[in-house]
Amino acid sequence: MRLGLIGTGLMGKPMAEKLIEAEYDLKIYNRTAGKAESLINIGAKAFTDVNELANNSDVIIMMLSNYDAIQEVLFESNISQLENKTIIQMSTIAPTESLELKSRVEKLRGEYFEAPVLGSINQILDKELIVLVGSNEIQFAKYKKMFESFSKKIMYIGEVGKASAIKLALNQLIISETAAFSMSLGYVRENNLNIETFMDILRSSALYAQTFDKKLPNYLERNFENPNFPVKHLLKDLDLMLNEFADKNINTDTLKGIRKILVDSIKTGNSDKDYSAIYNSIHIKKD
């Protein structure tokens, strides 16, 4: 398999490391060339021209920030042809966007399927990333072993569009749970209540989610550096949800309120910080 990966950022880099560790002959491309240096040192072959990567790859994994970036790289960067190539789209995009990419790739006589993921850097390194595959069954069977390089849980969701939809449903919980917990924790702290007592009650209840403990040190220290997932990407996902959910007759008023919080968080300098930084816009620090 001549394997290429486009996008060696926050998620793409550790995924590339795992693919190299699994002895795949990996070609990589990133629009910011400096992000590829550490991968070159462990055996990846880097290209500064995406067209050259495409010419040297039969399978191309896309791990870019959004639909516009994917579209630009695939269709506006002088890739000469996609015939007989398989494009695997692994970012969080809307189902309608994924179906549009499938249509355009197939018109160029290539193959396309989606495999968005749930989890972040640590889950990749521990092979605990959840891969959600929207494809035909032949594609799923063919590429399952490759996904095992960084995942022990590879789930076949259905046709293209289905995996993107379930990923948005899951990411909606990330957004809503983060905002809800931030509100409760802020209130507990403002009332000088014992935080461990609050957490002990919460852990033994049906209300608990592991992410609360995972992010608790960030909230208590107001330290949101070294992001697993930045605020700006959370806002991107929320905007996808507003469009997609509303189209399916889902009331999005709650998300609209959280969107204001995310925008405020970005305006106050948290764009590239961990998404838990929205805590600062919910429990506002006193001067």
Alpha-carbon distance of 92 to 241, in angstroms, equals: 11
CA 229 to chain CA centroid, Å, is: 7
* Angle at CA of residue 198, ends 195 and 204, nearest 5°: 135
32, pLDDT greater than 80: no
pLDDT for the residue 287: 67
Helix, coil or strand: residue 19: helix
User: What 3-state class would DSSP assign to 5?
Assistant: strand
- Sequence-distant (≥ 6) Cβ neighbours of residue 100 within 8 angstroms: none
Domain residue spans in the chain? 3-119, 165-282
Q: Residue 229 carries which DSSP code?
A: S
Please state the pTM of the whole predicted model: 0.93
**Domain 3-119 bears CATH identifier 3.50.50.60:** no
Strands (E), the chain: 3-6, 26-29, 45-46, 59-62, 86-89, 111-114, 117-118, 130-134, 153-158
Mean pLDDT to the nearest integer, 163-184: 98
DSSP 192: T
Taken as a whole, the chain contains a residue count of: 287
What the block records as the tokens of 286 is 């006193």
Q: Which candidate, 104, 31, 48, 115, places its Cα nearest to that of 74?
A: 104
The pLDDT, as a whole number, for residue 37 is: 86
Q: How confident is the model at residue 35 (pLDDT cuts 50, 70, 90)?
A: confident
Domain 165-282: give its CATH superfamily.
Answer: N-(1-d-carboxylethyl)-l-norvaline Dehydrogenase; domain 2 (1.10.1040.10)
**Over 90: is that where the pLDDT of 286 sits?**
no
pLDDT tens readout for residues 235-276: 999 999 999 999 999 999 999 999 999 999 999 999 999 999
Per-residue pLDDT tens over the stretch 219-242: 999 999 999 899 999 999 999 999
Question: What does the pLDDT average to over 89-94?
Answer: 97
Bin 119: left if φ > 0, else alpha if -120 < ψ < 50, else beta: left
Put residue 111 in one of left, alpha, beta given phi > 0 → left and psi -120 to 50 → alpha: beta
Average pLDDT on 201-205 reads: 98
pLDDT, residue 78, reads 60
Q: What single-letter DSSP state applies at residue 42?
A: T
